[in-house]
Structure 1
């Protein structure tokens, strides 16, 4: 222990202070774990002393914390910038100038006992492959482990994660299954959606039945795994190009839920050709018309785009009239002009901020034909051909 205390003193990161009872450190303990690479090999053994009650000080060592993400720091020098992302005791950093990376690395190794892992290729279960064309992100190693864990390595595969002729419901007369196992499978699949947005919709549907899962629900979950078995090497591709425009897509599956007839909102956002954000969520209340369901979905999309605009402002990127692509002309008309009183008087007031954002030229509503609507993959079951087409356009593809 004395050797460890000497190490902390050398790093100059600990200071003995008196603190009021309200800020007393609750507990302190050592945490030991192995650092693994993407092949599961042990890279190094790690130990850290964890204490509750500590806090960070903004601006320390000349870095400015991000306005939205308090684990993100950036440093500007002339026209160049250095970005640092921290997760517990792991750090990812990159810069527009390689010399900044070298200076930061030298600074950190001079101040702290730490090792450099080189170019990023594995982080929090995500496999990262960098090449001239762009960056690939996948969880193929994680997927293989899942299939082995649940005994789905053998057997047939499917081309879509959910069948087009199935509508999930409570199935109250069905036979119950082990809740613990079902919830564990759902939790694992939800983590996998970090690089596999193509399974997000059906995983969210199956998650609704965790309180009382039936055999039919378990069958639907196992179908997702059979789909993953057929697409183990799939992941997200972020192409390298100069296009840095911000845009969003919005759609809704009107009254698609059989049990309560609530609609499902879906949305995704792009920076250039790169998919950076997506969601699929059942709406909080029953929509009385398709236009209302589409309008609410567009409002959700608008909220996400405003958050992204605020975040990107930290990187000196500004956007005006950000387009939201919607395939419902009634929802677009409601957003652009208040003349459709009979269609809008029952819509929650909170969703009318969408119209306000349009008037302030923060975003704009744009029509897109239904066959080009990418968000269908987040709101409803699709045929194999349509599903594969949208999946490719989202940048989800086979990674060697």
Structure 2
């Protein structure tokens, strides 16, 4: 270990997260030091930290920040909606003629600023915004009125959901569990699919992502398989940092609602139809074979990663929020 990775008091810097230092040989005498945590933290980087030590509950809230965002973009008096994206909005790239028509109309509209402000909230404590931000961010270089309408829809959602918090509760275990999903060929320009995953440690949500897949999937099975692979990489990282900090994490559980993708991850029975898939995607089979990941079938209605790949009806969306402890 390099000298700069350990200070004179015996703390060791995490190789997986440079903001984390730890000291001690067993889980009972471990001390963890977060560089950005000075004393009992109540607010950090625009997030309020709300504690209830008796109940063992900690909440992260960006309510104050989001109210300021609404004021900045003159949406503080807007009418609230119940979901972050309108499923009827089908956005695509402009033709050259459309772009020429839209550019003058968008010249005075702060599209990029609004998307950036919303992205900061999503990264900090709001997985419920992940899919919507993934969608509007695709057009940040060439915005238009329909894209601006989508951004304002997100702001209208936040009007009624500024006080939603990412909630952590006391747990007697540190098990790592992930959920992944995909939406096949949802991109109207290049027919790429959307991947989404979310991970919980000790039953608390700690990591999430929604993104377009880098290549075009030729089937729903392939799209789900690629989503599994992306989720597995995140799970491996979480497993490493938990193990480094002294928690037992020899394997993690990964939930998927596609039985065919699970079968493909466990063996090559579909080889004739999937031999074109890039070799790097198949590394998940090694993880399954050596016991690093336990892939489990989950019903679509119970999969919270579903909200990271598409717009959902209100009841389904709220069910996802409850599972992830994104609540008021």
Output aligned runs, 1:260-271, within 5 Å.
260-271=190-201
Corresponding residue number in structure 2 for 1:175: 102
Deviations 1:179-238 (A, max 9, x none): 871111111111001111101111111001011100110010011011001011111000
Whole-Å separation in 2 of the counterparts to 1:351 and 1:72: 30
- Compute the TM-score of the two structures, normalised by the length of structure 2: 0.92
Deviation at 1:156, TM superposition (A): 0.9
Whole-Å separation in 1 of the counterparts to 2:87 and 2:109: 28
Deviations 1:136-174 (A, max 9, x none): 001001001111111111121100111122222124426
Whole-Å separation in 1 of the counterparts to 2:91 and 2:247: 42
Whole-Å separation in 1 of the counterparts to 2:16 and 2:268: 33
Is 2:278 the counterpart of 1:348? yes
Corresponding residue number in structure 1 for 2:170: 240
Q: Which of residues 263, 272, 275 in structure 1 aligns to 2:205?
A: 275
Is 2:9 the counterpart of 1:64? no
Is 2:158 the counterpart of 1:228? yes
- Which of the two has higher C-alpha Rg? 1
Is 2:31 the counterpart of 1:82? yes
- Compute the TM-score of the two structures, normalised by the length of structure 1: 0.76
Q: Which runs of 5+ in 1 are unaligned?
A: 1-54, 94-117
| Conserved? CA contact 2:180–2:198, under 8 Å | yes
Deviations 1:76-96 (A, max 9, x none): 27632221122xxxx416xxx
Deviation at 1:261, TM superposition (A): 0.5
Whole-Å separation in 2 of the counterparts to 1:334 and 1:186: 37
Question: Highest relative contact order (Cα 8 Å, sep 6+), 1 or 2?
Answer: 2
Residue 201 of structure 1 aligns to a residue whose secondary structure is helix
Mean Cα displacement is larger for which, 278-287 or 240-249? Answer: 240-249
| Conserved? CA contact 2:239–2:250, under 8 Å | no
| Conserved? CA contact 1:262–1:286, under 8 Å | yes
Q: Which of residues 290, 314, 323 in structure 1 aligns to 2:220?
A: 290
Is 2:65 the counterpart of 1:142? yes
Distance 1:226 1:248, change over 3 A: same
Whole-Å separation in 2 of the counterparts to 1:269 and 1:347: 25
Q: Which of residues 119, 122, 125 in structure 2 aligns to 1:190?
A: 119
| Conserved? CA contact 2:49–2:58, under 8 Å | yes
Q: Which of residues 149, 162, 165 in structure 2 aligns to 1:219?
A: 149
Deviations 1:15-56 (A, max 9, x none): xxxxxxxxxxxxxxxxxxxxxxxxxxxxxxxxxxxxxxxx98
Corresponding residue number in structure 2 for 1:43: none
Residue 30 of structure 2 aligns to a residue whose secondary structure is strand
Q: Which portions of structure 1, spanning 4 or more consecutive aligned residues, are displaced by more than 3 angstroms?
A: none
Mean Cα displacement is larger for which, 161-170 or 245-254? Answer: 161-170
Whole-Å separation in 2 of the counterparts to 1:179 and 1:321: 51
Whole-Å separation in 2 of the counterparts to 1:265 and 1:294: 8
Output aligned runs, 1:156-171, within 5 Å.
156-171=79-94
Q: Which of residues 252, 260, 266 in structure 2 aligns to 1:322?
A: 252
Residue 233 of structure 1 aligns to a residue whose secondary structure is coil
Corresponding residue number in structure 2 for 1:109: none
Whole-Å separation in 2 of the counterparts to 1:196 and 1:123: 15
Whole-Å separation in 2 of the counterparts to 1:180 and 1:192: 20
